[in-house]
């Protein structure tokens, strides 16, 4: 039977550690020699300890012990009489080596504890972030689901309790409302699931070749209600190529941006939506004539849970733009906001164009 050998991975990890320990001890020797020479032994010891501290902070416990052993050997060889020999003539020097070694071990242990504590703090932060995300999602779930649910409940109870008195037309209207709102609910739940997956980094982008007009049309269609008092000027460059995107996700990003434009600008002010090809990318822009965004915060508004201080505590959870960014970046694109000349904000996202859409095979073809 063959004996177990250390795996090549372990060897690969050990090499830089041993190299670092050696470099630290050799450098301490050189620096100690140049700065202090053989007369100021205590100062030379300090230089060695400094090297050991650096190794323990950067590479951990075992490499720092290796560095300590090497340091003691080099100190003995070069700085302690008899010179250029590992022999020790004075017992005092043995004590010095022991003290130096003990100090190195203590420092390394402390450094290790500090590192472990920093890692624990990092983990705790991650957990807190996840908790906040869960809470924000929960509150947005309950808020967004309540509206269609209460409409469905109202329509259903009208159908149940006053059915004989209702004209057939009114009855089918109620049934239609229930149908529409149930569909909205279904869509909302799907979007929320998308958002949770996006936030946890587990989203899969199902790209297909799409014409951006279709996606813009679908988003505007879904926002007919909040945009009813707005004039939305849509300008899509002619002859734009197809773009490989997950249409549901990009529609969601457009919806978030348009909803924000409706929410954060005075009612009745105009909105503009445009799509152009620019330097190998499809650039979609949504511009408004609202209050704009303080210049130093144009990047921060894309962070999770960030809302401008002027919004107060009410309203959304500050996730809308973070979701847009997640979606666009999952497509290899980029999203940003700017203030417009003449007032208002413009949100733009760029999606990479390129590749060749597959040829359409006519039905019944080969």
Phi and psi (nearest 5°) for 262? -75, -35
Say how far apart CA 237 and CA 255 lie, in whole Å. 20
Which residue's Cβ lies closest to ligand ADP?
316
Which is closer to ligand ADP, CB of 100 or CB of 337? Answer: 337
Phi and psi (nearest 5°) for 300? -65, -30
CB of 319 to ligand ADP, least distance (A): 6
Please name the residues in contact with 195: beta carbons below 8 A apart, sequence gap of 6 or more: 137, 319, 323
Which is closer to ligand ADP, CB of 29 or CB of 260? Answer: 260
Which is closer to ligand ADP, CB of 51 or CB of 320? Answer: 320
CB of 219 to ligand ADP, least distance (A): 15
CB of 198 to ligand ADP, least distance (A): 13
Residue 8: Cβ within 10 Å count: 8
What the block records as the tokens of 277 is: 């090809």
- The 8-class DSSP code of residue 268 comes to T
- The secondary element (H helix, E strand) that includes residue 13 is helix 8-35
CB of 359 to ligand ADP, least distance (A): 40
Give one word for 201, left, alpha or beta, with left for phi > 0 and alpha for psi -120 to 50. Answer: left
Three-class DSSP category at 61: helix
Which is closer to ligand ADP, CB of 155 or CB of 262? Answer: 262
- Contact set with ligand ADP (CB under 6 A): 256, 260-261, 264, 288, 290-291, 293, 301, 306-308, 311, 315-322, 345
Q: What would you report as the CA-atom Rg of the chain, rounded to the nearest whole angstrom?
A: 33
- 8 Å CB contact between 348 and 274: no
CB of 155 to ligand ADP, least distance (A): 29
Which is closer to ligand ADP, CB of 22 or CB of 339? Answer: 339
Counting every residue, how long is the chain? 366
CB of 291 to ligand ADP, least distance (A): 6
CB of 258 to ligand ADP, least distance (A): 9
Find, among 185, 146, 133, the residue nearest to 326 by Cα: 133
CB of 289 to ligand ADP, least distance (A): 10
Which is closer to ligand ADP, CB of 50 or CB of 308? Answer: 308
Q: What share of the chain is helix, strand, coil (3-state, %, to 5)?
A: 60, 10, 30
* The dihedral formed by the CA atoms of 92, 95, 97 and 98, expressed in degrees to the nearest 10: 180
Say how far apart CA 319 and CA 298 lie, in whole Å. 15
> Exposed (0-12), middle (13-18) or buried (19+): which is 267, by Cβ within 10 Å?
exposed
CB of 229 to ligand ADP, least distance (A): 16
Find, among 258, 214, 250, the residue nearest to 328 by Cα: 250
DSSP lists the bridge partners of residue 62 as none
Which is closer to ligand ADP, CB of 158 or CB of 220? Answer: 220
Helix 91-161 / helix 168-199 crossing angle, nearest 10 deg: 170
CB of 317 to ligand ADP, least distance (A): 5
Which is closer to ligand ADP, CB of 16 or CB of 294? Answer: 294
């Amino acid at each position: 039977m063959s004996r177990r050998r250390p795996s090549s991975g372990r060897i690969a990890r050990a090499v830089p550690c041993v190299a670092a320990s050696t470099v630290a001890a050799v450098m301490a020797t050189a620096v100690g020699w140049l700065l202090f020479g053989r007369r100021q032994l205590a100062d030379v010891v300090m230089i060695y300890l400094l090297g050991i501290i650096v190794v323990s902070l950067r590479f951990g416990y075992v490499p720092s012990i290796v560095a300590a052993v090497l340091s003691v050997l080099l100190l003995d060889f070069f700085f302690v009489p008899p010179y250029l020999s590992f022999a020790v003539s004075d017992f005092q020097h043995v004590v010095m080596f022991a003290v130096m070694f003990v100090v190195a071990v203590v420092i390394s242990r402390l450094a290790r504890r500090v590192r472990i504590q920093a890692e624990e703090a990092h983990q705790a932060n991650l957990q807190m972030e996840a908790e906040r995300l869960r809470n924000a999602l929960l509150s947005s779930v309950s808020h967004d689901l309540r509206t269609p649910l209460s409409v469905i409940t109202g329509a259903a109870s009208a159908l149940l309790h006053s059915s004989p008195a209702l004209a057939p037309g009114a009855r089918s209207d109620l049934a239609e409302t229930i149908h529409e709102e149930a569909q909205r609910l279904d869509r909302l739940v799907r979007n929320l699931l998308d958002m949770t997956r996006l936030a946890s980094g587990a989203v899969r982008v199902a790209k297909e070749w799409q014409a951006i007009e279709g996606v813009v049309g679908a988003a505007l269609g879904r926002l007919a209600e909040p945009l009813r008092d707005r004039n939305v000027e849509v300008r899509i460059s002619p002859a734009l190529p197809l773009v490989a995107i997950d249409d549901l996700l990009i529609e969601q990003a457009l919806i978030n941006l348009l909803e924000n434009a409706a929410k954060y600008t005075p009612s009745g002010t105009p909105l503009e939506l445009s799509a152009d090809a620019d330097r190998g990318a499809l650039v979609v822009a949504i511009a408004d004539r609202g209050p704009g965004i303080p210049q130093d915060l144009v990047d921060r508004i894309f962070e999770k849970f960030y809302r401008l201080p002027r919004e107060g505590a009410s309203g959304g959870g500050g996730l809308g733009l973070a979701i847009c960014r997640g979606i666009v970046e999952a497509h290899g694109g980029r999203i940003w906001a700017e203030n417009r000349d003449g007032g208002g904000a413009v949100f733009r996202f760029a999606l990479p164009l390129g590749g060749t859409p597959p040829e359409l095979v006519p039905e019944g073809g080969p």
